[in-house]
């Protein structure tokens, strides 16, 4: 969606200018020819629709060829017709509509450069010429697709700008291709799930092969999703997340000064740039998604290319230009800490590249549970299905209850003290330890009805820190994009202040999708399994 304001739409069609001279007397025809010759001598004279020239798309200058007009638009107005045609694969009719749209609506170049499909010129009314004998409409658009427009020496100073624009276009095409692959992969996953349900007699041997292929597809989908700018925008705008890392790095510069730093899953490169600004000798950022190409531009734009090196690929598969690093930083956390998390990759990087005495940040994390009482939310989520416009759809609960819900909780719905079910030391944790079981005790703080158990996490920046930083996703703290994870109980439990709710939670990976979680929760001898995917 374009961020710029749309141009004011003027539906009044411009008058046709010039003409063939039909119906004029001989003397009148001679006068008309003389006027046209005068106009030809004056490049700024009004010659719309004449055979002598055609006006610029954005100003009053006239040109005798479409190529000259295109070069002028690029150098003086920052709008490359060639690039737009190539980028959006405009055919003959699309090009005609574009020219007539600009003639009629008179948008500025910035607005046009920001547009993405669907385009405002796609209506058939833009097939009708706004100017008679418009030289731009007589231009063969195939020439733009098959070759570059050659501009005169007068605009040679724009060559570097054009080269940058072409590079940006290429990266855009790569991102769009990655998004298309992600959408295709997602469709494959959906089709597999549907086939799996509809064909219960699939034999285990063939199923195992299919599931292996699916896992590979899921990895592609996962990394492709991080190639789109939107997810990075959401994370960067999460002030709790980004400022926690910034404050940890800037308030503890001694950890980074003259050190070699590895940023696992660098994304847009924000943590790498924080580390470089804090005095790191060398920062190596690694990311598998297409966003790394934008990160390279960001690094250059901020003049940090001498201290930051970015590598595209999985940390498990690439070779970094050093044997050991002093510090590993990463923002690897997912919902409920471990869902879709990159902690496995951080552990791999730690074991392979971290020098003796080096540090990993964040260095420790905890996962906590708390009891929730929210009758209205429970009713909206589950009781709703008991009577849907007079029909009993309660069977839907069997599908809905096993789905964990990620949402922002009102801290006033908390009815117990929090209980830590898992502590993770990032310097020693192993991958198998990320699947675990834990007993828990929730001390009720007020008489109420428990409708759900909620989970959240905290991460700590403590080792060797003069200024320690806590990043919390608790419902009692400022909200983050991680929100909280809610496990609704099918049947709410009445509790009293001071009562102790005892339970057990088991967390393991979904074997078909290792980035997803299966959570089994037991409270008061009632067991329910949930999926987080």
* Residue from 77, 94, 73, 75 nearest 85 by CA: 94
Here the tokens at position 116 are 């993405």
Among residues 267, 382, 420, 415, the alpha carbon closest in space to that of 329 is found at: 267
Do 272 and 263 contact (CB within 8 A), yes or no? Answer: yes
Q: In sequence order, which residues have a C-beta less than 8 Å from that of residue 465 and are 6 or more positions away?
A: 248, 251, 252, 255
Residue 130 per-residue DSSP state? S
**Backbone conformation region of residue 96, classed left if phi is above 0, alpha if psi is from -120 to 50, else beta:** alpha
**In the structure encoding, which two tokens stand for residue 184, read together?**
């295709």
Evaluate the omega torsion of the peptide bond into residue 362 and state whether it is cis, within 30 degrees of 0.
yes
Catalytic residue among 82, 218, 290, 340: 340
Q: Residue 497 catalytic?
A: no
Two tokens, residue 406 = 């990620």
Q: Are 143 and 150 in contact (CB under 8 A)?
A: no
Name the residue with tokens 């961020």.
3
In angstroms, rounded to a whole number, what is the distance separating the alpha carbons of residues 41 and 52?
Answer: 10
Cα dist. 217→198, 213, 220, 456 in Å? 21, 6, 5, 29
Contact 375, 427 (CB under 8 A): no
Burial of 27 (C-beta count, 10 Å sphere; 0-12/13-18/19+): exposed
Cβ atoms 50, 133 nearer than 8 A: yes
Query: What are the two backbone dihedrals, phi and then psi, of residue 352, each rounded to the nearest 5 degrees?
Result: -95, -40
C-alpha neighbours within 13 Å on the C-beta side of residue 309: 11
Kind of pairing, strands 308-312 and 484-495? unpaired
- Alpha-carbon torsion angle 48, 51, 53, 54, nearest 10: 40
Which candidate in 82, 218, 290, 331 is catalytic? 331
**C-alpha closest to that of 507 among 454, 442, 437, 455:** 437
d(CA 164, CA 147) in angstroms, rounded, equals 18
Residue 331 falls in the annotated catalytic set: yes
Q: Is 370 helix (H, G, I), strand (E, B) or coil?
A: strand
**Which residues are part of the catalytic machinery?**
331, 340
């Amino acid at each position: 969606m374009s961020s710029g304001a749309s141009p004011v739409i003027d539906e009044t069609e411009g008058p046709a200018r010039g003409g063939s001279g039909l119906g004029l007397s001989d003397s009148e025809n001679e006068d008309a020819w003389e006027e046209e010759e005068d106009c030809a001598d004056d490049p700024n004279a009004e010659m719309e629709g004449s055979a002598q020239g055609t006006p610029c798309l954005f100003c009053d200058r006239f040109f005798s060829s479409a190529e000259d007009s295109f070069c002028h638009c690029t150098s003086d107005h920052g709008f490359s017709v060639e690039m737009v045609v190539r980028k959006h694969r405009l055919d003959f009719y699309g090009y005609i509509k574009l020219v007539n749209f600009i003639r009629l609506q008179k948008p500025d170049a910035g607005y046009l450069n920001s547009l993405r499909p669907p385009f405002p010129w796609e209506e058939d009314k833009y097939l009708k010429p706004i100017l008679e004998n418009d030289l731009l409409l007589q231009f063969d658009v195939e020439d733009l697709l098959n070759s570059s427009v050659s501009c005169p020496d007068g605009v040679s100073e724009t060559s570097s700008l054009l080269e940058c624009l072409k590079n940006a276009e290429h990266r855009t095409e790569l991102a769009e291709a990655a998004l298309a692959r992600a959408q295709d992969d997602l469709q494959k996953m959906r089709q597999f799930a549907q086939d799996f349900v509809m064909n219960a007699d699939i034999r285990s041997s063939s199923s195992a092969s299919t599931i292996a292929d699916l896992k590979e597809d899921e990895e592609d989908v996962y990394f492709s999703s991080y190639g789109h700018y939107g997810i990075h925008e959401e994370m960067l705008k999460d002030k709790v997340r980004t400022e926690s890392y910034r404050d940890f790095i800037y308030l503890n510069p001694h950890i980074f000064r003259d050190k070699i730093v590895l940023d696992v899953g660098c994304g847009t490169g924000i943590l790498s740039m924080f580390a470089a600004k804090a005095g790191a000798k060398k920062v190596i950022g690694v990311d598998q998604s297409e966003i790394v190409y934008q990160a390279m531009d960001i690094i250059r734009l901020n003049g940090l290319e001498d201290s930051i090196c970015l590598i595209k690929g999985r940390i498990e598969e690439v070779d970094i230009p050093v044997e050991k690093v002093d510090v590993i930083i990463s923002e690897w956390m997912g919902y409920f800490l471990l869902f879709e998390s990159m902690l496995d990759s951080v552990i791999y990087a730690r074991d392979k590249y971290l020098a003796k005495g080096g540090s990993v940040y964040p260095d420790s994390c905890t996962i906590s549970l708390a009891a929730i009482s929210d009758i209205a939310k429970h009713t909206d989520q589950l009781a709703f299905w008991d009577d849907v416009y007079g029909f009993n759809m309660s069977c839907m609960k069997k599908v809905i209850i096993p789905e964990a819900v990620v949402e922002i909780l009102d801290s006033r719905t908390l009815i117990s003290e929090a209980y830590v079910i898992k502590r993770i030391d990032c310097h020693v944790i192993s991958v198998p330890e990320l699947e675990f079981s834990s007993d828990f005790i929730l001390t009720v703080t007020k008489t109420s009805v428990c409708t759900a158990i909620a989970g959240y996490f905290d991460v700590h920046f403590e080792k060797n820190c003069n200024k320690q930083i806590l990043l919390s996703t608790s419902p009692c703290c400022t909200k983050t994009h991680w929100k909280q994870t809610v496990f609704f109980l099918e049947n709410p439990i009445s509790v009293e202040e001071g009562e102790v709710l005892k339970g057990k939670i088991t967390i393991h990976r979904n074997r078909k999708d290792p980035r997803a979680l299966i959570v089994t929760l037991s409270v008061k001898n009632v067991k329910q399994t949930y999926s987080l995917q």
